[in-house]
Amino acid sequence: MPLKINLITFHLKKHDGQSTVALRTIRYLKTLNGIDAKLITFTKDNELVKSLESENIDIINLGSDSLFYEGLDLILDYKSRKVAKYLDDDSFNVVISDDSVLLSKYKNGVTVYWCQGLPQLMPFFPFFFEKEKVVKTVASLASVYIHRKILKYIKNYDLIFSNAKTTSIIMSLFYGVLPNDVLYPPVYLDQKVVNIYNPEKYALVIVKRDYLTGIKDLIEKISEKVNVKIVGNVKIGKAITLGRVSDEELYQLYANAYVLLYPYVNELFGMIPVESMITGTPVIAFNSGGPSETIINNETGWLVNNEKDFFNKTIEIFENGYDINMRLKAHERGKLFSTQNFVSKLLDYLYKYKAPNQHN
CA–CA gap between residue 17 and residue 31 (Å, rounded): 22
pLDDT value of residue 71: 63
What is the arithmetic mean of pLDDT over 279-292? 96
Q: Where in the chain is the domain with CATH 3.40.50.2000?
A: 3-186+338-357, 203-335
Phi/psi of residue 338, each to 5°?
-95, 160
Dihedral-angle region of residue 189 (phi above 0 means left; psi in -120 to 50 means alpha; beta otherwise): beta
Phi/psi of residue 235, each to 5°?
-120, 125
pLDDT value of residue 48: 94
Q: How far is CA 79 from CA 180, 214, 272, in A?
A: 27, 35, 30
Q: Any bridge partners for residue 181, and if so which?
A: 161
Directed axis angle between helix 325-335 and helix 271-278, to 10°? 120
pLDDT value of residue 133: 64
Q: What is the pLDDT of residues 129-172, one digit of tens each?
A: 666 666 666 666 777 888 888 899 999 999 999 999 999 999 99
Q: What is the pLDDT of residues 62-100, one digit of tens each?
A: 988 766 666 666 667 889 999 999 998 899 999 999 989
Task: Tell me, rounded to whole angstroms, the distance of Cα 128 from its chain centroid.
Answer: 16
Number of H helices, E strands in the chain: 14, 13
In the predicted model, what is the mean pLDDT of the chain? 89
In CATH terms, the superfamily for domain 3-186+338-357 is: Glycogen Phosphorylase B; (3.40.50.2000)
Please check the confidence at residue 59 and state whether its pLDDT lies above 50. Answer: yes
Q: What is the pLDDT of residues 194-244, one digit of tens each?
A: 999 999 999 999 997 656 767 899 999 999 999 999 999 899 999 999 999
Residues of the chain above pLDDT 90, percent: 71
Instruction: Provide the pairing of β-strand 59-61 with 92-95.
Output: unpaired
CATH of 203-335, one of 3.30.43.10, 3.90.110.10, 3.40.50.2000, 3.40.50.800: 3.40.50.2000
| Residue 360 confidence class, pLDDT cut points 50, 70, 90 | very low
